[in-house]
Amino acid sequence: MGKPKVAFYWCASCGGCEEAVVDLAEDILKVVEAVEIVFWPVAMDFKVKDVESLGDGEIAVSFINGAIRTGEQEHMAKLLRKKSGLVVAFGACAHIGGIPGLANFVNREKIFDWVYLNAPSNDNPGKIIPQEKTQVEVGELTLPKFYDTVYTLDQVIDVDYYLPGCAPPPDLIMKAVEAILSGNLPEKGTVLAPDKALCDTCKRKTTKPEHASIKEIRRVHEVMLDPDRCFLDQGIICLGPATRDGCGERCINANMPCRGCFGSTSRVEDQGAKFLSALASIIDMNDEEEIKRIMDSIVDPAGVFYFYSLPASMLRRRLDI
Amino acid sequence: MCTGRIDPQFVLKAFQSGADGVLILGCHPGDCHYKEGNYKALRRFHLLKRVVKQFGVDEGRLRLDWVSASEGEKFVEVITDMVATVKKLGPLTTAKEELRVG
Amino acid sequence: MQIRVGVYICKCGTNISENIDIDELIQFSSRLENVAYVKDQPLLCSEDGKNFLASDVAQEKPERVVIVACTPKEHEKTFRNTLLRADFNPYLFQMVNVREQVAWVTADKAAATEKAKAYIRAAVKRVTLHEPLEKKEIECNTDVLVIGAGPAGMEAALLLAKAGRKVYLVEKNSFVGGRVARYEEVFPKMECASCMLEPKMDEILHDENIELITSSEVVEVLGYLGNFSVKIKKRATCVDKEKCIGCGACYEPCPVSVRNEFDYHLSDRKAIHVPYTGALPNVPVLDQGHCLRFAKTDSAMVQEALDLGLITQEESENYKKQDCTACQEACMFDAITYDRQDEILERNIGCIIVAIGFELFDPSVLPQFGYGKIPEVYTGLEFERILSQTGPTGGKLFMKNGQEPRSLAIIHCVGSRDKKHKEYCSGVCCLYALKFARLAEKHAPGAKIYDIYADWCVPGKDNQEFLDSLKEKKNVYFIHTNLPLSVAVKQNKDSLSVSCVDVSGKENPLAADMVVLCPAIIPARDTSRLSEMLLITSGRDGFFAEGHTKLAPVSTNIEGVFIAGCCQGPKDIQGSVAQGAAAAGQVLSALVPGRKLELDVIIAEADENSCAGCMTCIGLCPYKAIMFDKEKKIAVVNTVLCKGCGTCVAACPSGCLTGKHFTEEQIFAEIEEVLK
């Protein structure tokens, strides 16, 4: 029997997840040795027809990163799903929508208006906006459909496992690869990271007072951040308590609060709402006007609480546009 | 159970499931059967209200009010008012329909 | 997997069936997933109905039960008990309220039926997610701590002791009796207060089940109903109560004389003293704050003050520690030892009754009354002492100059019923003002007595008669004023002038030798400290908040902690004693020796394997039921203290806390189904 076939694909993403694969360093050699890569557009020259020519389920595992926001991405995700035994949603965008998912606060029209017409750096006197179909002399050109809404991978296809993170850290990737190669797999649908909140391993936990109480919310650029003290205790929004552990506190160690890229634990359906609840609860104020004042001091609450998870949230997107 | 048990997820779940409005009624501040659950509800409510607005849900669709067990009239008043507000706003775009991929 | 759900629909006579199509509900319900059978009953809460339910459940053996009937407030308990009879776990049951929430409020029958269907669909889905919950029982301590030995506290302690309970009665003063110990006579029957009180005080002192701990205060309370442990700080009084016979030989030689707090500084006492003749227990107290042996001032500071000329040589002596042993030498029974230290006593108890009494609103806040500036202006409590035989004047009505007053003004509602101060009516001032008038008339015959009142508050059996009897007195003048009081007291050369505007708008210039103010009754100083320590809430007026104004007047928000007397709100002695008795009754039924304590089952639970120890929940719990396990670094819910409010569950950002019987899953299911 040949080596197991593996595919990598990227959808709406920044490329960081591809870097993460390369970040395996020497370990990548082990992976390459153990598997046969059949598709990896960013690194190797394969064509879509190569995938199409494979039998259904012939690919052992496809790692798909990025959210789904265009017709082409949806098409490729569905194709890979058909050809693969396992699909792993790789990274925050595939898992919970990620940063591209923040576009769900607007719609296609607004995005196009800004990107092609109104952004100050534009020079588009003809007010040309991309069209799905354009007639040129040699025939019809097509572009993938740009959706109003950004989707997580599992809203489009069936996903077997999730590797969370922006981007997933090398140790979790290696663990996942090893589990897949050895066939020692957890229950379908599992997120391949610890199922506890980030605070569990956060070094700053020891500085957090038992009775957390916040009287003012501050933004990171407004204060000198104490590199050892719990962010929330400093009045800085840190999504750590509502975010799955396993990242190795990369942001925290760089003195930046958690923004929630690992998504929630398995017991929470809406990461942003749950964080909102926790944060509001520890605002130490009972006077309604003061409560409003403090809540209003959070500039963009939905944007902060759903920094990575908007498409995976209960409401998924702005409803009135 | 107490307004303090209200997880903002419940409110979003209701909107997600097709509710056109969500009305939270609790004991008056200072009169909480569980001491101060209603203050926790109040804090969550004001933040949640801002968040749902960003989701394009009109503010009138989410309301918190205090009605004690003995305030039958106020209860009727608040409900009637809420129903009128929501009727005026019409149905909330149901998430499920709009969110079919494509 | 199928779960066998049995649905019972109650018609509630015609209450439900008149407005909801029962047949349609039956058809609808039987088509729902998991529903095994649907049955209707004319009146499920009747004896017949309950018997049917019990036998039918025993026969059908459903895995879950849904009862479609009235509000759970009314009959959830009834049906839980009925299901228990059928050996069915009562938490595998869900009630649907189609009476109050549907039949009675939705006029259109078709709409009502649709609404009822949605509720049933939600309940059926929810109930399949229910888990069987088992009641737990724990051992408990039935001893009682009573804080405050006034009329309320004494009554509670005595009743409990008579029922065989061990009672620890903690009193901050060195004597029992509370404020009443200061009174001469009490309204309306003008009974002698000490004659009334002494037999009770005597019983308190001699009951074997009561440990009276005087000169003490509770400094720490841990635990919960049935299992409290408390720390009590007992001030060192330097007198051995076992040896002391109360002869009083020790006061005479004491060289230190200070103002007596018991008499509100209207008399003097020695550093070693009993606050008044007849105080019980009759054991003197050595006041370390004033005794020369215990002078607290640092000697270097005294020297510095002397060097700077701030004090004289003579005065400096008073600040220095002196090896005075006058009282010890005078004691024939070796009862006095100076090396006593404050002690911390630890006691384990099951219930706490707080009866710490009241204080008076400080009238000096209202300068128009002249209190604190004009010597002959007194508060009601000060006046009580002047009238008392054990007081500064030996029971003679004298002014500070030793003369009998020829006129006296009594002013009601000082600081009361006033939005700027205390909004409430203290309820007892009218009556004690009348008592003062009666006593003043007796002590200073012929003196003019002006009673300046705003309204009469004299409810109760004998009180109107009491008022009427005073209205007949020729030398008692009643002046009816409006609120807020328009009264000004000024010091003239010979007497005081009291000008007051009556209801007709007429200004009445009165001359009075003495003025007695009736200030609002306010919470005792210790109220907020105890409120924090015991976690019991206070109302906006500062008094402890009762569980329910009408139905739970001596309960608090904390199980096992009760309140009695004026700390709950202003009241007379009768009311305080009644509350003391009520609190004792509550304690007797809350904890019964030999009976275990049944714990709530609908509580929060922390999953120790998934908690990250973020501590969001810890400070949120109003019952302090969540502890942080410092070793495991996780939150732990105390199953006895938790009341199941769910505040922590809603806040837990990683979903490790579960609210039993109100889980996220159950509530989500209910929301989804009702909106389907």
Please report, for the domain that includes residue A22, its CATH number.
Answer: 3.40.50.700
User: Residues C21-42: pLDDT tens digits?
Assistant: 999 999 999 999 999 999 999 9
pLDDT over threshold 60, residue B95: no
Q: Are residues A299 and A173 in the same domain?
A: no
Q: What is the mean pLDDT of chain C?
A: 93
Q: Which domain holds residue A242?
A: 198-312
Interface of C with A in 593-612 (CB under 8 A): 610-612
> Does any domain span residue A320?
no
β-bridge mates for residue C354, sequence order: C147, C563
Indicate the Cα dihedral angle C500, C503, C506, C508, nearest 10°.
-30
> Does any domain span residue A240?
yes
Q: Determine contact, residues C236/C343, Cβ cutoff 8 Å.
A: yes
**How far is C605 from chain B, CA to nearest CA, in Å?**
14
Nearest CB to A273: which of B12, B58, B99? B12
pLDDT over threshold 70, residue C297: no
SS3 assignment for C502-538: ECCCCEEEEEECEEEEEECEEECCCHHHHHHHHCCCE
Contacts of B8 in chain A (CB under 8 A): 270, 273-274, 276-277
Are A295 and B9 an interchain contact pair (Cβ–Cβ within 8 Å)? no
- Whether B35 contacts chain C with CB within 8 A: yes
Total number of domains constituting chain A: 3
Instruction: Give the C-alpha separation, C16 to B59, whole Å.
Output: 36
Rg (CA), chain A: 22
Nearest CB to C643: which of B9, B30, B34? B34
Q: Are residues A63 and A177 in the same domain?
A: yes
> Does any domain span residue A48?
yes
> Does any domain span residue A27?
yes
Nearest CB to A211: which of C611, C618, C653? C618
Contacts of A151 in chain B (CB under 8 A): 101
Contacts of C671 in chain B (CB under 8 A): 10, 13-14, 17, 19
Q: Are residues A88 and A137 in the same domain?
A: no
**Domain boundary at A158, A182, A206, which?**
A182
pLDDT at residue B70 in the model: 84
Instruction: Give the C-alpha separation, C477 to A229, whole Å.
Output: 71
Inter-chain contacts counted by CB atoms under 8 A, chains B and C: 65
**How far is C415 from chain A, CA to nearest CA, in Å?**
27
- Whether C624 contacts chain B with CB within 8 A: no
pLDDT over threshold 80, residue C633: yes
User: What's the full length of chain A, in residues?
Assistant: 321
Nearest CB to A278: which of C611, C613, C653? C653
Q: Are residues A89 and A205 in the same domain?
A: no
Are B47 and A303 an interchain contact pair (Cβ–Cβ within 8 Å)? no
- Whether B36 contacts chain A with CB within 8 A: yes
> Does any domain span residue A169?
yes
Nearest CB to C646: which of B2, B8, B17? B2
Amino acid at B24: I
**How far is A214 from chain C, CA to nearest CA, in Å?**
11
User: Residues A178-211: pLDDT tens digits?
Assistant: 999 999 999 999 999 999 999 999 999 988 888 8
Instruction: Give the C-alpha separation, C433 to C470, whole Å.
Output: 11
Give CATH 3.50.50.60 domain extents, chain C: 144-235+343-355+524-590, 358-522
The answer to whether the bond into A167 is cis (omega within 30° of 0) is yes
Give CATH 3.30.70.20 domain extents, chain C: 600-660
Instruction: Give the C-alpha separation, C587 to C561, whole Å.
Output: 9
C358-522 architecture in CATH? 3-Layer(bba) Sandwich (3.50)
Interface of B with A in 38-97 (CB under 8 A): 39-40, 42-44, 46-48, 50-52, 54-58, 92-93, 95
Q: Are residues A232 and A243 in the same domain?
A: yes
pLDDT over threshold 60, residue B99: no
Q: Which residue of A has its CA nearest to C627?
A: A210
Q: Are residues A225 and A152 in the same domain?
A: no
Nearest CB to C654: which of A197, A212, A269? A197
Indicate the Cα dihedral angle C309, C310, C314, C320, nearest 10°.
-110
Amino acid at B71: E
pLDDT over threshold 60, residue B97: no
A230's tokens: 């719990």
**Helical packing angle, B8-16 and B37-54, nearest 10°:** 40
Q: In which band, very low, low, confident or very high, does the pLDDT at C298 lie, cut at 50, 70 and 90?
A: low
> A185 phi and psi, to 5 degrees?
-105, 145
> Does any domain span residue A191?
no
User: Residues C506-532: pLDDT tens digits?
Assistant: 998 999 999 999 999 999 999 999 998
- Whether C614 contacts chain A with CB within 8 A: yes
What 3-state class would DSSP assign to C301? Answer: helix
User: Residues C392-444: pLDDT tens digits?
Assistant: 999 999 999 999 999 999 999 999 999 999 999 999 999 999 999 999 999 99
Q: Are residues A291 and A270 in the same domain?
A: yes
Q: Which residue of A has its CA nearest to C668?
A: A269
Are C645 and B1 an interchain contact pair (Cβ–Cβ within 8 Å)? yes
The average pLDDT across C56-60 equals: 97
The average pLDDT across C546-557 equals: 90
> Does any domain span residue A14?
yes
Are C654 and A274 an interchain contact pair (Cβ–Cβ within 8 Å)? yes
Maximum Cα–Cα distance across chain C: 102
Distances (CA, A) of C550 to C159, C356, C540: 23, 21, 18
Are C659 and B18 an interchain contact pair (Cβ–Cβ within 8 Å)? no
pLDDT at residue B96 in the model: 47
CB atoms within 10 A of CB C646: 29
pLDDT over threshold 70, residue C295: no
pLDDT over threshold 80, residue C138: yes
- Whether C508 contacts chain A with CB within 8 A: no
Instruction: List all chains that touch chain B, counting a touch as 3 or more CB pairs closer than 8 Å.
Output: A, C
Are A270 and B9 an interchain contact pair (Cβ–Cβ within 8 Å)? yes
Q: Are residues A126 and A224 in the same domain?
A: no
Are C668 and B10 an interchain contact pair (Cβ–Cβ within 8 Å)? yes
The average pLDDT across B52-79 equals: 94
Contacts of C656 in chain A (CB under 8 A): 265, 267
**CATH topology for C5-133?**
Rossmann fold (3.40.50)
Inter-chain contacts counted by CB atoms under 8 A, chains A and B: 116
C318's tokens: 């008073």
Q: Are residues A256 and A166 in the same domain?
A: no
Instruction: List all chains that touch chain C, counting a touch as 3 or more CB pairs closer than 8 Å.
Output: A, B
**How far is C417 from chain A, CA to nearest CA, in Å?**
26
- Whether A46 contacts chain B with CB within 8 A: no
Q: Please state whether beta strands A139-142 and A133-136 pair in parallel, antiparallel, or not at all (unpaired).
A: antiparallel
Lowest mean pLDDT among A2-6, C125-129, C355-359: A2-6
pLDDT at residue C320 in the model: 66
Are C647 and B9 an interchain contact pair (Cβ–Cβ within 8 Å)? no
Candidates 3.20.20.60, 3.30.70.20, 3.40.50.720, 3.40.30.10; CATH matching C600-660: 3.30.70.20
> C591 phi and psi, to 5 degrees?
-130, 125
Instruction: Give the C-alpha separation, C111 to C105, whole Å.
Output: 11
pLDDT over threshold 60, residue C88: yes
The average pLDDT across C622-632 equals: 89
Nearest CB to B47: which of A151, A268, A276? A276
C144-235+343-355+524-590 belongs to which homologous superfamily? FAD/NAD(P)-binding domain (3.50.50.60)
Q: Which residue out of A195, A215, A233 would a mutagenesis test of the C interface target, given it has the greatest number of C Cβ atoms within 10 Å?
A: A195
Instruction: Give the C-alpha separation, C455 to C430, whole Å.
Output: 9
Q: Are residues A123 and A257 in the same domain?
A: no
Q: Are residues A93 and A220 in the same domain?
A: no
> Does any domain span residue A134?
yes
- Whether C540 contacts chain B with CB within 8 A: yes
User: Residues C315-340: pLDDT tens digits?
Assistant: 676 666 678 899 999 999 999 999 88
Q: Please state whether beta strands C35-41 and C5-10 pair in parallel, antiparallel, or not at all (unpaired).
A: parallel
Lowest mean pLDDT among A66-75, C353-362, C535-544, C568-577: C535-544
What are the E-state strand segments in C524-665?
Answer: 561-563, 597-598, 604-606, 626-629, 634-637, 657-659
Interface of A with C (CB under 8 A): 195-200, 205, 208-213, 240-242, 245, 264-269, 274-275, 277-278, 281-282
Q: Determine contact, residues C131/C40, Cβ cutoff 8 Å.
A: no
Give CATH 3.40.50 domain extents, chain C: 5-133
**How far is B38 from chain C, CA to nearest CA, in Å?**
9
Digit-by-digit pLDDT tens for chain A (321 residues) are 689 999 999 999 999 999 999 889 899 898 889 999 999 999 999 999 999 999 999 999 999 999 999 999 999 999 999 999 999 999 999 999 999 999 999 999 999 999 999 999 999 999 999 999 999 999 999 999 999 999 999 999 999 999 999 999 999 999 999 999 999 999 999 999 999 999 999 999 988 888 878 999 999 999 999 999 999 999 999 999 999 999 999 999 999 999 999 999 999 999 999 999 999 999 999 999 999 999 999 999 999 999 999 999 999 999 988
User: Residues C188-247: pLDDT tens digits?
Assistant: 999 999 999 999 999 999 999 999 999 999 999 988 889 999 999 999 889 998 999 999
Those residues whose C-beta lies under 8 Å from the C-beta of residue A90, and which sit 6 or more positions away, are A8, A17, A63, A64, A65, A163, A168
> C81 phi and psi, to 5 degrees?
-65, -40
With CA atoms as reference, report the closest residue to C355 among C570, C144, C151. C151
CB atoms within 10 A of CB A235: 17
Nearest CB to B95: which of A281, A285, A316? A316
Distance of CA C143 to the CA centre of its chain: 19
Q: Classify residue B12 by burial, with Cβ atoms within 10 Å: 0-12, 13-18, 19+.
A: buried
**How far is B71 from chain A, CA to nearest CA, in Å?**
22
Q: Are residues A162 and A49 in the same domain?
A: yes
pLDDT over threshold 80, residue B1: no
ipTM, two decimals: 0.95
User: Residues C580-620: pLDDT tens digits?
Assistant: 999 999 999 999 999 998 888 999 999 999 999 999 999 99
Lowest mean pLDDT among A30-34, A230-234, C345-349, C379-383: A30-34
